[in-house]
Structure 1
């Protein structure tokens, strides 16, 4: 086992114990929930027993977390969120989460809203955003809606839609499902 492997092993054990304690559970309570004996769980937490993948999966499930979260890296590159600039589309994006399914992103929008209906997008789902600064033009079907600083918008993405800045740059925090992420956050082809 390398030093890096040993550090991750110790981190996983600490996470298991910390989550158990945070939930107010004794060794007996967690052991019963993950179908292990309390002595086995104790040896896992203290490092006196190797953790099998089947045991780790059961422990994660019992603690209401995922295997990925128990073993995720602590490297500094996961802490700092760096912007991704797409000059062609006039958007700078900060991805605020790394979980699959729903994406939370801060966006600085400099482009104006598209002029024609041909530029509106449709995809399954719903979207939500709140304006941190500036004003956003939301084109929703044949409607043109101004969403100002401090306001939020939520809408069905089955309605043809697009958004852009109004009278200067705007910053938003948006919540997008997989289809919305692919439509609004991926670089242009």
Structure 2
């Protein structure tokens, strides 16, 4: 199969999937894109070539961009091989490339029993919100004067303008956290 036919097939699949996700029939999408249902059916099944004018009309009708419809993604773009970063009692793996949408960073952290988690030596404050879920173990979330126990399978979301810290409780614990730009800068050793 050629690269052109791979892209063609991918674009057809994206049209069909977007249409079905919206619960639209061929007639409904055809009406929105100012195409005939038979033209749209031929495009989706591969019996008709897709013209640039049709691509643009379909992208507009589906509420997406032409770039998103035709972008190619290789296997190298999909798999992330996070690098392990260790500091006293804390091991961190950043799970996305750079900053994600709206400056969001996803990280996995392993916090050991004898050590404290990110910012635990002193309570930290920064603009925004932090979110984490406990993958294993138990975490003590310190928010100002409060100590909140967060166990495996539970999650926490809090304003980071409250003085805060995270500690492992009773043994090592692992969390998956989502940090905004300020949270990344505060909690990760090498910010992007």
Q: Give the TM-score normalised by the residue count of structure 2.
A: 0.69
132-141 vs 84-93, greater mean Cα deviation: 84-93
8 Å contact kept, 1:136–1:170? yes
Structure 1, gaps ≥5 residues long: none
CA-CA distance at 1:8 after TM superposition: 1.7
Q: CA RMSD in A?
A: 3.6
Residues 18, 103 of structure 1: alpha-carbon distance in 2 compared, 3 angstrom cutoff: same
Question: What do residues 106-151 of structure 1 show as CA deviations (whole Å, max 9, x unaligned)?
Answer: 513235132224xx13112x33222121222323234343323233
CA-CA distance at 1:154 after TM superposition: 2.0
8 Å contact kept, 2:139–2:149? yes
Length, aligned pairs only:
182
Residues 83, 19 of structure 1: alpha-carbon distance in 2 compared, 3 angstrom cutoff: same
145-154 vs 31-40, greater mean Cα deviation: 31-40
Structure 2, gaps ≥5 residues long: none
172, 183, 188: which one pairs with 1:180? Answer: 183
The residue number in structure 1 matching 2:153 is 150
The residue number in structure 2 matching 1:116 is 122
Question: What do residues 4-23 of structure 1 show as CA deviations (whole Å, max 9, x unaligned)?
Answer: 24312321112212332454
| Pairing of 1:32-111 with structure 2 (within 5 A) | 32-45=31-44, 46=46, 47-52=48-53, 54-61=56-63, 69-88=68-87, 90-93=90-93, 95=95, 100-101=101-102, 103=104, 105=106, 107-110=108-111
8 Å contact kept, 1:121–1:162? no
Could you list the structure 1 runs, at least 4 aligned residues long, displaced by more than 6 angstroms after superposition: none
